[in-house]
Amino acid sequence: MARKYCRPIATAHRYLAPLSRRCWSCDGPLWMAYHATRTVATLDGLCQFRLAVRRCVNRACALYHQPYRPEEEGSVALPKGEFGLDVIAAIAPCATPSTAACQRSTARCAREGWTSPSAR
Ligand SMILES: [Zn+2]
């Protein structure tokens, strides 16, 4: 279902850059291509990420003009996801209720006042 109103303005901002400046295929330089922005909802609030994307400029390379995005982006959220992995982990259903992660998740849900759709 589409959102009926705009998202609030992000309260936190972070800048992420790729770790390497050399192409791992041809060892040539990776040039700065563009910046992408991405807003992710985390448990601490909305965070806007500014991502530096690089590209190999060697025409003979197999990775010529392929975007090279920051590695850390994958630890923040799923591709094209608007919720962070911490939110997904907090609300994920428990496979085995006796695990420590599930008990922490249940305690947090009770503390924050969250209920599952089946409990309503
Ligand atoms: Zn290359």
Tens digits of residue pLDDT in 28-79: 999 999 999 999 999 999 999 999 999 999 999 999 999 999 999 999 999 8
9 Cα: distance to centroid of ligand 1 (angstroms): 38
56 Cα: distance to centroid of ligand 1 (angstroms): 5
pTM of the predicted protein model:
0.70
3-state per-residue secondary structure call for the chain: CCCCCCCCCCCEEEEECCCCCECCCCCCEEEEEEEEEEEEEECCEEEEEEEEEEEECCCCCCCECCCECCHHHHHCECCCCCEEHHHHHHHCCCCCCCCHHHHHHHHHHHHHCCCCHHHC
| pLDDT of 116 | 54
54 Cα: distance to centroid of ligand 1 (angstroms): 11
pLDDT digits 0-9 by tens, 6-36: 888 999 999 999 999 999 999 999 999 999 9
Q: Report residues near ion ligand 1: CB below 5 Å.
A: 23, 25-26, 28, 56, 58, 61, 63
